[in-house]
């Protein structure tokens, strides 16, 4: 990354940092459990029984608890992951498609996903999940040895990251590198084993109880199989959570359609086979759940967004339509979440303004292919 690239990435990160500085965080729902787990761990207690959910982010929040003692340390940890996602998105776009302009567009598309950057202010984990999804994709592109480790940690943050295994599995199924894959599996196994030892279940899945009974019973989690009734409505919900703006979806439905068509029609697309299998796994996993939200489709949404980049680079009309459609994604999230954190919609839309600047910069600057980028 040269100085110009570095300065622009830092500028975008500064803009996003301002976005968080102008917000008023309000810990809610699951956030209290992630924070509680982090505080208990910071004081030397590993307590899966008292706090439900996957606690990957909580481990990263422990140093912040030590340094600040803040009751919203989990939110600060998420902010850091959100900021780090920006240069990572740029590097993925640049290296995947051998173009700096593709890098700026990749960063812009991540900024046009408001959900992870907004709900972190409730203490939610999607910003951290987004970072690990991007890290897994980056590691897969460059065939890094540490990719299975990133995959395992991402799965501890939220298990939906596990669907990305097909992106890199083939690279590690040999004697020379399989140890890295085994290490990743051991990390995940240690986490699940500790959870099982304390709760009698591999996952403290108390949220299922809340939907069935209206209460959370962290000390009496239901069996994991209760989360998988496998009904047709689960798969119909996947489509709705991908395409209907009012369901607080992740990204522009038009972008998802363009990305899906790109994967199906562009046989020269790098990692195409791995993307297809990962998307199918994401659909099968979320469609089989007894309840689901749009955020569970984050791996799929990121992959399809990135896959759409070549088509968007060729057509400014399509890109303009994506920008219009993206506004319709921001609006429901403002009405449901954003107005609680920012005083005015114009402040809430800072990521949108940053995306516009990046796209304008990328399209009005004549970038040649990046000389160090790997070609597919």
When pLDDT is averaged across residues 237-245 and rounded to a whole number, the result is 95
19 closest CA partner among 59, 78, 105: 78
Kindly state whether residue 369 falls inside one of the protein's structural domains: no
How far is residue 86's CA from residue 1's CA, in Å, rounded to a whole number? 13
How far is residue 221's CA from residue 194's CA, in Å, rounded to a whole number? 15
pLDDT score of 334: 97
pLDDT score of 91: 97
Higher pLDDT, 130 or 234: 130
pLDDT score of 373: 44
pTM: 0.93
115 closest CA partner among 306, 357, 341, 289: 341
pLDDT exceeds 90 at position 217? no
113 closest CA partner among 136, 134, 135, 92: 134
How far is residue 337's CA from residue 283's CA, in Å, rounded to a whole number? 26
How far is residue 76's CA from residue 240's CA, in Å, rounded to a whole number? 31
pLDDT score of 1: 84
Kindly state whether residue 92 falls inside one of the protein's structural domains: yes
Kindly state whether residue 370 falls inside one of the protein's structural domains: no
Taking the CB of residue 360, how many other CB atoms lie within 10 A of it? Answer: 12
* Cβ atoms of residues 325 and 254 within 8 Å: yes
SS (H, E, C) the chain: CCHHHHHHHHHHHHHHHHHHHCCCCCCCCHHHHHHHHHHHHHCCCCCCCCCCCCCHHHHHHHHHHHHHCCCCHHHHHHHHHHHHHHHHHHHHHHHHHCCHHHHHHHHHHHHCCHHHHHHHHHCCCHHHHHHHHHHHHHHHHCCCCCHHHHHHHHHHHCHHHHHHHHHCHHHHCCCCCHHHHHHHHHHHHHHHHHHHHHHCCCCCCHHHHHHHHCCCCCCCCCCHHHHCCCCHHHHHHHHHHHHCHHHCCCCCHHHHHHHHHHHHHCCCCCCHHHHHHHHHHHHHHHHCCCCCCHHHHHHHHHHHHHHCHHHHHHCHHHHHHHHHHHHHHHHHHHHHCHHHCCCCHHHHCHHHHHHHHHHHHHHHCCCCCCCCCCCC
pLDDT score of 60: 97
- At 227, the pLDDT band (50, 70, 90 cuts) reads confident
* Cβ atoms of residues 282 and 299 within 8 Å: yes
Q: Which domain holds residue 148?
A: 3-200+226-364
How far is residue 14's CA from residue 83's CA, in Å, rounded to a whole number? 8
pLDDT exceeds 80 at position 258? yes
pLDDT score of 375: 43
Residues in the chain: 376
38 closest CA partner among 20, 19, 57, 21: 57
Contacts of residue 154, defined as CB under 8 A and 6 or more positions apart, other chains included, come to 56, 129, 132, 133, 135, 136, 161, 162, 164
Which residue is listed with tokens 């496998």?
230
When pLDDT is averaged across residues 1-7 and rounded to a whole number, the result is 89
* Cβ atoms of residues 339 and 365 within 8 Å: no
pLDDT exceeds 50 at position 376? no
pLDDT score of 209: 53
Count of domains observed in the chain: 1
Kindly state whether residue 112 falls inside one of the protein's structural domains: yes
* Cβ atoms of residues 210 and 291 within 8 Å: no
pLDDT exceeds 80 at position 353? yes
Kindly state whether residue 56 falls inside one of the protein's structural domains: yes
Contacts of residue 243, defined as CB under 8 A and 6 or more positions apart, other chains included, come to 249, 253, 256
Kindly state whether residue 353 falls inside one of the protein's structural domains: yes
pLDDT score of 289: 87
Kindly state whether residue 173 falls inside one of the protein's structural domains: yes
The values of phi and psi at residue 217, to 5°, are -125, 80
Lowest mean pLDDT among 65-79, 197-211, 290-304: 197-211
When pLDDT is averaged across residues 82-105 and rounded to a whole number, the result is 96
Kindly state whether residue 128 falls inside one of the protein's structural domains: yes
Computed on alpha carbons and rounded to an integer, the radius of gyration of the chain in Å comes to 20
pLDDT in tens, 155-214: 999 999 999 999 999 988 888 899 999 999 999 999 999 998 998 888 877 555 555 555
């Amino acid at each position: 990354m040269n100085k110009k690239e570095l300065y622009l990435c830092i500028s975008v990160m500064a803009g996003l940092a301002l976005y968080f500085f102008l917000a008023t965080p309000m810990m809610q729902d699951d956030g209290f459990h992630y924070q509680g787990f982090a505080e208990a761990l910071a004081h030397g207690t590993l307590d899966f029984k008292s706090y439900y959910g996957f606690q990957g982010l909580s481990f990263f929040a422990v140093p912040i608890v030590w340094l600040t003692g803040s009751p919203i340390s989990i939110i600060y940890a998420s902010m850091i992951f959100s900021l780090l996602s920006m240069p990572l998105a740029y590097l993925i776009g640049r290296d995947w498609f051998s173009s700096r302009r593709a890098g700026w567009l990749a960063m812009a598309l991540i900024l046009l996903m408001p959900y992870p950057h907004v709900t972190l202010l409730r203490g939610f984990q999607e910003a951290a999940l987004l970072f690990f999804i991007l890290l897994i994709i980056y590691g897969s592109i460059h065939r890094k040895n540490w990719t299975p480790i990133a995959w395992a940690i991402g799965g501890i943050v939220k298990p939906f990251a596990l669907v990305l295994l097909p992106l890199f599995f083939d690279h590690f199924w040999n004697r020379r590198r399989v140890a890295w894959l085994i290490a990743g599996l051991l990390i995940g196994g240690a986490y699940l084993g500790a959870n099982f030892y304390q709760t009698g279940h591999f996952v403290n899945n108390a949220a299922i109880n809340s939907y069935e009974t209206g209460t959370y019973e962290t000390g009496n989690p239901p069996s994991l199989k209760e989360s998988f009734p496998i009904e047709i409505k689960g798969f119909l919900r996947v489509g709705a959570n991908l395409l209907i703006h009012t369901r607080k979806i992740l990204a522009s439905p038009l972008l998802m359609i363009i990305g899906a068509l790109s994967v199906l029609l562009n046989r020269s697309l790098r990692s195409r086979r791995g993307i297809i299998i990962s998307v199918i796994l994401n659909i099968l996993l979320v469609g089989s759940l007894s309840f689901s939200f749009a955020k569970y489709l984050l791996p799929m949404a990121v992959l399809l967004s990135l896959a759409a980049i070549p088509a968007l680079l060729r057509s400014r009309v399509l890109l303009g339509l994506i920008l219009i459609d993206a506004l319709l994604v921001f609006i429901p999230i403002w009405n449901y979440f954003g107005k609680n954190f920012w005083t005015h919609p114009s402040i809430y839309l800072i990521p949108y303004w940053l995306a516009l600047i990046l796209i304008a910069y990328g399209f009005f600057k004549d970038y040649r292919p990046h000389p160090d980028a790997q070609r597919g």
